A and B are shown apart, each in its own frame.
Chain A
Amino acid sequence: MILVVDMNWKRDSLAAAEFVAPIVTAVEPHERCEVKHFSDLQPAHLNDYSKIILSGTALKDHATLQQPQRFEWIKTCSQPVLGICAGMQTLSLVYGAQLSLCLQVGMIEIITLAPTPLFEGIFHAYALHNFSVEPADNFEVLAQSTKCIQAIKHKQKDLYGVLFHPEVRNQNILERFVKL
């Protein structure tokens, strides 16, 4: 069972249909999902899931970026985690990274910099973000666009972040994560 964490500013928000439901649609053919809002997460229950996906949010939604301490559980959880957009930004903040301004909206070119099971080569993906990250020392950069870092991975753990939204035009990346 995959846990999809709804990162939107409130439970049952209008944005969940846009940023959470498409992830579930992409993952469910490969493995069952359960959705929980970030405010409802109980770290003791995370072991019920094989993998965890942190959703993106609306461009103006900075709720999780203002409270990364709620996500300290990421440091101790043993499952692979994939943070999408705000999910990647939040994951990075948990490890002490800095955000950097980088506005991109629409289809952009992604250039792979390091081997990863999630994607390879040059491809196009949908972007919707105001910030990228200056990753912490224990993260490597997997991919970039012409403007900023687009994907990262923890050097020792299966903690991934993608700034673009794979649920829009690159659902195969979600399938690859599920099959890690």
Chain B
Amino acid sequence: MKLGVLFSGGKDSTLALHMAAEKEEVACLITLLSKNPESYMFHTPNINVTSLQAEALGLPLVSKFTEGKKEEELADLENAIKEAKQKFKLDGIVTGAVESVYQASRVQRICNRLDLWSFNPLWKHDQKALLDTLVAKGFRVIISGIFAYPLDKTWLGKQIDTQLIARLVELQRQYGISPSGEGGEIETTVLDAPMFKKRLEILQSDTSAKGNSGVYIIKEARLVPK
């Protein structure tokens, strides 16, 4: 089965890609570049880095711009998936949805209309276990966005490791935030993963934060040997 992965460059879609590649053939990545930082559907910080990540993975990337308006972005997504289906003769789509019925059901409907299989290999999985899996498998993931109390700018750019996971779990206990950011509390960017043939090196970055909301923007990066 040939699959396209909806790819944001964050931890969930990258882990879903790895799980899909263990079972089926991943033929391409599909990315929506949203101009709306509060997009309902699409992870936004460092979305431009997906072209470098695709190169590191050795996978073709179908990327499309969207204004990021609530329902129009779904039409843009459907068009991108349709193009990828034709170009790569896809049988199905993979997403990194974990808990979001909003995201998963919309992709399911698009796939149903386009006669494609839809797979969500992280669906309903324990969020701390997913974070532990990333660390155990050697993913290098940084926090590139914070959007909830009590997170602040000191979290931005930090790599997810066992100590940081413990801090996130403690915040879940104290404040009810989702440790893997399923409620939009954090966004992440993957710099290295088992399927990456090269890793990303950040050359220039910028941190922008106000209170409990902020982003870590990668302004310049390159691929380097692992």
Contact = CB atoms under 8 A, between A and B. Distances in A.
Interface string A64-101: 00000000000000000000000000000000000000
Given A59-B112, A106-B105, A107-B101, A17 B24 contact: no
Query: What band does the interface of chain B fall in when counting residues whose beta carbon is under 8 Å from A?
Result: 20 to 34
A13 B23 contact: yes
Contacts of B115: 60
Contacts of B127: none
Interface stretch (A18-26, A29-37, A143-151): A18-26
B19 A14 contact: yes
A14 B121 contact: yes
A141 interface: no
B121 A58 contact: no
B112 A17 contact: no
Contacts of A60: 92, 111-112, 115-118
Interface string B95-112: 000000100010011011
Interface in A101-140: 103, 105-107, 126, 128, 130
A18 B126 contact: no
B124 A25 contact: yes
Contacts of A105: 105, 108-109, 112
B124 A21 contact: yes
A103 B123 contact: no
Interface in B98-148: 101, 105, 108-109, 111-112, 115-126
B121 A17 contact: yes
> Which secondary structure dominates chain A's binding surface?
mixed
Contact of A18 (B92, B101, B111, B119): B119
B121 A18 contact: yes
B70 to A, nearest CB: 15
A167 interface: yes
A12 B22 CA distance: 11
Interface string A45-71: 000000000000011110000000000
Interface string B166-195: 000000000000000000000000000000
A103 B121 contact: no
Given A58-B117, A60-B117, A21 B125 contact: yes
B20 interface: yes
A59 B105 CA distance: 11
A168 B105 contact: no
B118 A59 contact: yes
A3 B112 CA distance: 30
Contact of A22 (B19, B119, B124): B124
Contacts of A17: 19, 121-123, 125
Interface in A142-169: 167-169
B120 A18 contact: yes
A19 to B, nearest CB: 8
A15 interface: yes
The 10 A-B residue pairs with the shortest CB-CB distance, nearest first, are A106-B105, A22-B124, A14-B23, A18-B123, A17-B121, A105-B108, A105-B105, A18-B120, A60-B117, A14-B119
9 contacts: A14-B20, A14-B24, A14-B119, A15-B119, A18-B119, A59-B118, A103-B112, A106-B101, A126-B105
Interface of A: 12-15, 17-18, 21-22, 25, 58-61, 103, 105-107, 126, 128, 130, 167-169
Given A15-B119, A126-B101, A168-B124, 10 more contacts: A14-B19, A14-B121, A17-B122, A18-B119, A21-B125, A22-B124, A25-B124, A60-B116, A61-B117, A103-B112
